[in-house]
Amino acid sequence: MNQEEQVQVLGLWGSPFSKRVEMVLKLKGIPYEYIEEDVYVQKSPMLLKLNPIHKKVPVLVHQGKSIAESLVIVEYIEDTWKTSYPLLPHDPYERSMARFWAKYVDDKVMLTLWKACWGPESEREKMVEEAYDGLKYLEEELGDKQFFGGETIGFVDIAADFIAYWFGIAQEASGVMIMTAERFPKLQRWSQNFVRNNIIKEVLPPKEKLMALFKAQFGNNASNEA
């Protein structure tokens, strides 16, 4: 790959948003240079130059141009490398529905799950109920499919990477159990299929490191309530 075609990813090791980009590049077999950004300590001049509006990771650099926002980046990769491991269906309606469910995960489910684990105690019961509702619709949409994308990992699966991996660790760290095998058997099966994929496994951050990060940043609900 010549310098003009070089792909760079500015990311953060524990971010599900950054990992979305790496997962897709790996699935499509696209070589890239990864640049770790310690956004909690000091944002680099490179990051501030490439993403001056949000000043966040991930950022993809391709052909000297930068793209921000993880799902926007994923669609850019999909449109640029169409023939290698397609993530979106060919049918226009199915493509629009995949985008709908990906946006649903981002806008509705992820924040609710996070608040259910780490939100103020006074709001936690409400957030847990909202989390159940959010996951219920995903459980129904998944049905008996192996992945949201069918037989292979697709756009919605990538968008839901937090639910598949990070959320289980957040539940364990916080002591708040929501996505159990009893209540959501299909999502549990899906999450196992997702994280066991050999390419996805290459990208996932170590569980112990994430667990320590969650506990250090947000504390343990059980100890807070004691």
Calpha distance 45→131 (Å, rounded): 38
Confidence band, pLDDT 50/70/90 cuts, at residue 196? very high
- pLDDT over 60 at 188, yes or no: yes
Mean pLDDT, rounded, for 98-116 = 96
- pLDDT over 50 at 221, yes or no: no
Going by C-alpha positions, the residue among 25, 159, 148 that lies closest to residue 94 is 148
Helix axes 92-104, 121-142, angle to 10 degrees: 160
Calpha distance 116→216 (Å, rounded): 18
More confident residue, 4 or 147: 147
Calpha distance 173→170 (Å, rounded): 5
Tell me what percent of the residues of the chain surpass a pLDDT of 90: 89
Classify residue 1: in a domain, yes or no: no
97 and 163 together in one domain: yes
Of 59, 80, 101, the domain-final residue: 80
- Using one digit for the tens of pLDDT, what is the confidence trace for 111-163? 999 999 999 989 999 999 999 999 999 999 999 999 999 999 999 999 999 99
Of 80, 101, 122, the domain-final residue: 80
Amino acid identity at 152 = T
**Alpha-carbon separation of residue 78 from 97, 120, 174, 204 (angstroms):** 16, 39, 36, 21
Question: CB 188: neighbour CB atoms within 10 A?
Answer: 17
Classify residue 31: in a domain, yes or no: yes
Of 80, 108, 139, the domain-final residue: 80
Q: Where are the alpha helices (DSSP H) in 62-205?
A: 70-80, 92-104, 110-118, 121-142, 155-159, 161, 167-174, 185-196, 198-203
25 and 65 together in one domain: yes
The answer to whether the CB of 224 falls within 8 A of the CB of 121 is yes
In terms of pTM, does the model score above 0.85? yes
Length, in residues, of the chain? 226
